[in-house]
Amino acid sequence: MDFKSLQQNIISTHTYLQNAAVKAVNVALTIRNWLIGFHITEYEQNGQDRADYGGMLEKRLADSLQHKGLSERNLKLFKQFYQTYPYFISLFSDKNNSNSMLQTLSAQIETEDFPIMQTLSALIETPIDFNHKSKKKLSVPPEKIVSKLSFSHIVELIKIDDDLKRTFYEMECIKGTWSVRELKRQISSLYYERSGLSSKPERLSELVNQKIEPKQPTDIIKNIYAFEFLGLRKQELVEESDLETALLDHLQEFILELGNGFCFEARQKRILIGQ
């Protein structure tokens, strides 16, 4: 083995396991949010004291939980997530699932003392008609959505009421490895509607994806939902602009404390020298 082979082996090992770690966090985060939405919906339908909370359930929950990632807004999003994708329950029942991450997580949940499994098992065994959304003629397999898209992608997708339109963006987003920003841009540009009017939608898809910079594997957890899920502060994701701001803040304070004879004119100012 020469030096270049050693270098390549180390890079390959790092990349593979880094991607596996990112994928594991993403899968766990998305499934957690779906399960929380399931809990809330089940309570609203069957809770003995549900009438006591009226339309304030999420607020009361957020106040009692006091967890930054479980705010009132997020709890409402999780409920909407579950109600938009009720058929994700198949993730817990499909033993032939090809996604090893999902297989491992599902197996752990089933073997550990996890109270929700009793309720989920009853739903799996009972032929319940969740609603028309669980019977879409065209749908992306749940394991594909969970493993390929971040929860930030899902937040944008659940805003789309039309099932076919949402499925279209699911498929295009996965195929083109779109970032969340790109997904928003394509929705705003009416890509779905333009594709329906195009005589050659395949060609339009090629042109759209040629201009897109694919997201990186680590981008899938570089969002506020993942940071809250992992118990990290948003500020711990330091960007270059954040570093500049922090340095200037301290520099400004230092110069102002020096008193007379020193001047702090601007944080960013163009200066022409020799003209």
Q: What is the pLDDT of residue 127?
A: 43
User: pTM for the complete prediction?
Assistant: 0.71
Domain of residue 247: give its range. Answer: 3-258
Total count of domains within the chain: 1
Residue 260 pLDDT > 80, yes or no? no
Least confident of 66-80, 167-181, 220-234, 258-272: 258-272
186 lies in some domain: yes
271 lies in some domain: no
274 lies in some domain: no
22 lies in some domain: yes
Whether the CB-CB separation of 195 and 203 falls below 8 Å is answered with: no
Residue 235 pLDDT > 60, yes or no? no
268 lies in some domain: no
Q: What is the DSSP code (8-state) at residue 90?
A: G
The CA-atom distances, in angstroms, between 92 and each of 48, 76, 82, 105, 108 are 27, 23, 14, 9, 11
Torsion sign across C-alpha atoms 69, 73, 74, 79: positive
More confident residue, 47 or 190: 190
More confident residue, 190 or 51: 190
pLDDT tens digit sequence for 94-134: 555 555 555 655 555 555 555 555 555 555 554 444 444 44
Q: What is the pLDDT of residue 52?
A: 74
- CA–CA dist 273, 234 (Å, integer): 40
Q: What is the pLDDT of residue 209?
A: 75
Residues ≥6 apart with Cβ < 8 Å to 8 = none
Torsion sign across C-alpha atoms 135, 109, 223, 21: negative
pLDDT tens digit sequence for 141-163: 998 999 899 999 999 999 999 99
Quick one: residue 139, left, alpha or beta (phi over 0 = left, psi -120 to 50 = alpha)? beta
Q: Which two tokens stand for residue 100?
A: 């090893």
270 lies in some domain: no
